[in-house]
Structures are given as structure tokens and as C-alpha cells.
Amino acid sequence: MAKADRLDRLDARRSDLEEEYRAVLFEALRRTASGKAGLFGHSKDRRTRATVAPTIDALSEMGEEIDKARELLDMPPFELQQQFLASRGPVGPQAVGEPKQAQAWLDRLAADSGES
């Protein structure tokens, strides 16, 4: 019974962390969509990278904790974290800018959550 209780608490913590991750990511995406670059790491500018570093660090830490919990619960890795990490980094000159990329993410997240 104690193991089931521990797993229930772990699952509740995982769920809370996933909600917090989504909220932090959503706010960062809103800032980026309004013109604050850096979230997707397209720029090599040190100041831009330093400005967004706390948000990236917070998302990374939460994502790691979520994935550890998911592993213990025999669940697949946190897909949103995997997608976000895959979308970061240098891009070619023909790629859309970070504000447009952030708006596309916001639109997709809204559609996934059933919002209009």
C-alpha cells in the first residue's frame, strides 16, 4: 500500500510540474511572440542569450524532473519538453524569425488544449 501511495504522490507531482512547465513555456512564448528574441536560441548575441537563460534553465530543470518522474512511473518522456528542445538552436537564413515561431507554438498549444 505504501508503494501505491508513493506512486500516487509522484504522479500528482509530475502532473503539477507539467502544468507549471506549460505555464512557464506559454509566458516565454508570449514574450517571444511580442518581439523578445532568444527563447529558441537563434541568436548568437550574448546579451540576448543571457536574458533568456533563467527561463531556459528553469524549463530544463523542470523537464528533467518530469522525465525522472515519468521514468519511475513507466511513462514515456515528456513530449512537450522534447519538442521544445528540438526546436532550439541555430537556423538557416530562410527560417522564420523567433516571434513567428513563438506564435506558431502558441497557436498549436491553444489548439492542443482546446482553446480558441
Render pLDDT for 36-91 as a digit per residue (tens, 0 to 9): 989 999 888 899 899 999 999 999 999 999 999 999 999 999 999 999 999 998 88
Is residue 115's pLDDT more than 90?
no
The count of domains in the chain is 1
**AA identity, residue 37:** A
DSSP helix/strand/coil, 20: helix
HEC string of 51-113?
A: HHHHHHHHHHHHHHHHHHHHHHCCCCCCHHHHHHHHHCCCCCCCCCCHHHHHHHHHHHHHHHC
Query: What's the rounded mean pLDDT across residues 81-103?
Result: 92
Confidence at 4, pLDDT banded by 50, 70, 90: confident
Cβ–Cβ < 8 Å for 39, 32:
yes
Per the structure, the complete domain to which residue 83 belongs is given by 2-112
